[in-house]
Structure 1
Amino acid sequence: MQIQSIETFRGAIPLHTPFKTALRTVTVAETIIVKVTCDDGTVGWGEAPPTHVITGDSMSSIQYAIEAIFKPLLIGESLIAREQLFEKIEKSMVRNTSAKAAIDMALYDCIAQLAKLPLHQFLGGYHERLETDYTVSVNSPEDMAADARKYINDGFSVLKIKVGKNDIATDIERIKKVRKEIGPKVVIRLDANQGWQAKEAVRAIRKMEELGLDIELMEQPVKAHDLEGLKYVTNHTETPIMADESVFLAHDAKQVLDMGAADLINIKLMKAGGIHEAIKIAKLSSIYGVDCMVGSMIETKIGITAAAHFAASQPNVTRYDFDAPLMLKGDIANGGITYHGSTIELGNEPGLGIKSINDSFILEESAGN
């Protein structure tokens, strides 16, 4: 099976509610969609959203990497020797991890179809379904409590709550209001998106521990590059600390794991450059006895389907943050994963199970060859 054509499409879907973190506010999910077509008619799909403040990628840089670098590199190549393909992609340019992720997941979609297996079974087949959390954006404490109640009423039992904006006292008040509103049984995860300094993170987390707010984990409390600060927070709190923006590639994960800088690692395909590198991070973490979460940027169902299939294939991926498609006003993909409240069904279709894309959300497309 050889790669015959590679096409890119610019897409955009409005969110029904603004997504707010310590780093940014998103009202429209922009994305570059990739379609890989093979000589036997097999089609694979991938996508990459621009997340300037985390990956540094823009719509134009993603599309350029795929069209100008990956397309001439891959057209005519066979999928059989897939390690050669992924090696070529990785060596062709530094970083540009979102563009790499988009082409990576499209190739894996094709490869799993060649094997006549759903992608999660091709990669390992550990789970058939997953349970996602739902994210509570940064707002006033009262608004966040009301949002948390709504998501619980919608059937979610795990909430990921954004903090790290304004001051610590306000963040603590946010969590107090949320916990009071939803009661003691709901799982609460916090994500500061690099919004705190190490010592103030320790003060905040310890205060929440003293108040009995029962936080399951604290994600990326300090700047991505501040591994010593991350280790300081990990060593001086009881709450498990998760590295997110600090870990893009397996090399980053090894540094965090060797230092004991975090208790958990959040893997995202857009940071890792796709499934190929994400598997390395999961396997490496497993060697150290460390569990992982798999999350995402603000992606459509195409990217989340790929991430969910990867997550379902790895035994030490124990947490899932796949709520992004539920935040959108429309669905860009026909096929892929399906949601039943907080439960995600992966399905039995070969590959990702995506049949086509919804043209109403497409802004522009490239030529195929």
Structure 2
Amino acid sequence: MKITSVEAVPYAIPYRKPLRFASGEVHAAEHVLVRVHTDDGVVGTADAVPRPFTYGETQAGVVAVIESLFAPQVVGRTLLERERVVEALARTVGNPAAKSAVDMAIWDALGRTLDQPVTALLGGYTDRMRVSHMLGFDSPAAMVAEAERMRDTYGITTFKVKVGRVPVALDTAVVRALREHLGPDVELYVDGNRGWTASESARAMADMRDLGLTFAEELCPADDVLGRRWLVQQCDVPFIADESAVTPADVTREVLGGSATAVSIKTARTGFTHSARVHHLAEGLGLEVVMGNQIDTQLGSMSTVVFGAAHRLTSRRAGELSNFLDMTDDLLAEPLVIRDGTLAVRPGAGLGVEVDSDKLAHYRLDH
């Protein structure tokens, strides 16, 4: 079970249409496939998702930090020495996507070595999650049409709506149109990606008070400390800390400081090891939790459902698991399928999925 090498393969797969939101837009999955090799011949795999407009990582930076810093620190460790690995990676500041992918690839390799699913090793609470679909900026008609297609084709009845444009009426009109066309049984929540000020956020939430929203997420920057606290105090739905609460320490600061009342866990930025710590902290504080999405590929979405299904708290809410449907292709040999609004954990050891070598050869950028 000793780690012999860590591989970082950059690749790019286009999206069918750009996904636009307040902090940026994404035209292609320019990710890094991370593979951990062991002396038993086992290979663990995970996806690193650089988001330069959120965490400062780039594709080239992820490859560089893994090859030059992280690989030398983990090679020679066994798959069971995860705390040692976490300690070694923590010596480098930032780089959450790179660290998370190394962590999840080690967990995948451990599951394969033990012939056990990772979701069972993490907790094994259930084998599937309800799916939430994320709707990026567009006209009200286009966003309603996309939501109706997701509901009618895949049975999805929970939608995260990107907001944060100015004037705020651009987005409140979208949310109102979604509620009017989809009806009261569909679950809606909004994510501002820090695009509004606290006062703009308050005005928008007041305008949408009658729409039965489930959550509000990162409507204004957490750095606007007093404004954010003022906003959360008057918000009548749980306020989710997402990119402002990456680490357990961040969660503690945001919640105890009155700047959030719920938290988003994204395995793409906290792996499995740190996601478990955030989960246990949220459980102890009595916070609601949503499993979030970094505009993940199918491999990233499977990692999310593997973790989310492992715990009671994270499996209660629909997870953001469907944006791989916006991609023109994927690396998995057997595509994921959303049925009746749910995504199931794949049976089998590790993450239960395999990468198609021909597709990787086609999309990789390091030839």
Report TM bin, short chain: over 0.9
Aligned partners of 1:286 and 1:66: how far apart in 2?
Answer: 32
Deviation of the 1:292 alpha carbon: 0.8
Give the TM-score, by structure 1 length. Answer: 0.93
Which one-letter code corresponds to 2:53 in the other structure? V
Unaligned runs of 5+ in 1: none
Q: What is the number of residues matched between the two proteins?
A: 362
User: Could you tell me which residue of structure 2 aligns to residue 87 of structure 1?
Assistant: 87
User: Could you tell me which residue of structure 2 aligns to residue 265 of structure 1?
Assistant: 263
- The 5 A counterparts of 1:28-177 are 28-91=28-91, 93-154=92-153, 155-177=155-177
Give the TM-score, by structure 2 length. Answer: 0.94
| Structure 1 SS opposite 2:137 | coil
Aligned partners of 1:177 and 1:248: how far apart in 2?
Answer: 32
Aligned partners of 2:30 and 2:350: how far apart in 1?
Answer: 24
Aligned partners of 1:240 and 1:356: how far apart in 2?
Answer: 38
Aligned partners of 1:229 and 1:122: how far apart in 2?
Answer: 42
Superposed CA deviations along residues 269-305 of structure 1, whole A, max 9, x for unmatched, are 2333x22111111101111111211112122122222
CA contact (8 A) 2:107 2:350 kept: yes
Deviation of the 1:152 alpha carbon: 2.0
Deviation of the 1:140 alpha carbon: 1.7
Aligned partners of 1:13 and 1:323: how far apart in 2?
Answer: 16
2:230 corresponds to 1:232: yes
User: Could you tell me which residue of structure 1 aligns to residue 297 of structure 2?
Assistant: 300
Deviation of the 1:100 alpha carbon: 0.4
Q: 1:250 aligns with which of 248, 273, 279?
A: 248
User: Could you tell me which residue of structure 2 aligns to residue 310 of structure 1?
Assistant: 307
User: Could you tell me which residue of structure 2 aligns to residue 9 of structure 1?
Assistant: 9
- The 1:227/1:313 distance shift into structure 2, 3 A limit, reads farther
User: Could you tell me which residue of structure 2 aligns to residue 342 of structure 1?
Assistant: 341
Point out the more displaced range, 119-128 or 143-152.
143-152
Unaligned runs of 5+ in 2: none
Aligned partners of 1:189 and 1:335: how far apart in 2?
Answer: 31
CA contact (8 A) 1:13 1:361 kept: no
CA contact (8 A) 2:346 2:353 kept: no
User: Could you tell me which residue of structure 2 aligns to residue 363 of structure 1?
Assistant: 364
CA contact (8 A) 2:305 2:344 kept: no
Which one-letter code corresponds to 2:364 in the other structure? L
| Structure 2 SS opposite 1:215 | coil
- The 1:361/1:269 distance shift into structure 2, 3 A limit, reads farther
User: Could you tell me which residue of structure 2 aligns to residue 215 of structure 1?
Assistant: 213
Aligned partners of 2:226 and 2:313: how far apart in 1?
Answer: 25
Aligned partners of 1:11 and 1:67: how far apart in 2?
Answer: 16
- The 1:166/1:200 distance shift into structure 2, 3 A limit, reads closer
Alignment RMSD: 1.7
Deviation of the 1:149 alpha carbon: 2.1
- The 1:270/1:329 distance shift into structure 2, 3 A limit, reads same
Deviation of the 1:341 alpha carbon: 5.0
- The 1:21/1:303 distance shift into structure 2, 3 A limit, reads same
User: Could you tell me which residue of structure 2 aligns to residue 289 of structure 1?
Assistant: 286
Point out the more displaced range, 44-53 or 134-143.
134-143
Superposed CA deviations along residues 48-102 of structure 1, whole A, max 9, x for unmatched, are 12211111100111000111011111222212322212221222x1111111011
| Structure 1 SS opposite 2:103 | helix
User: Which portions of structure 1, spanning 4 or more consecutive aligned residues, are displaced by more than 4 angstroms?
Assistant: 335-338
Aligned partners of 2:35 and 2:335: how far apart in 1?
Answer: 15
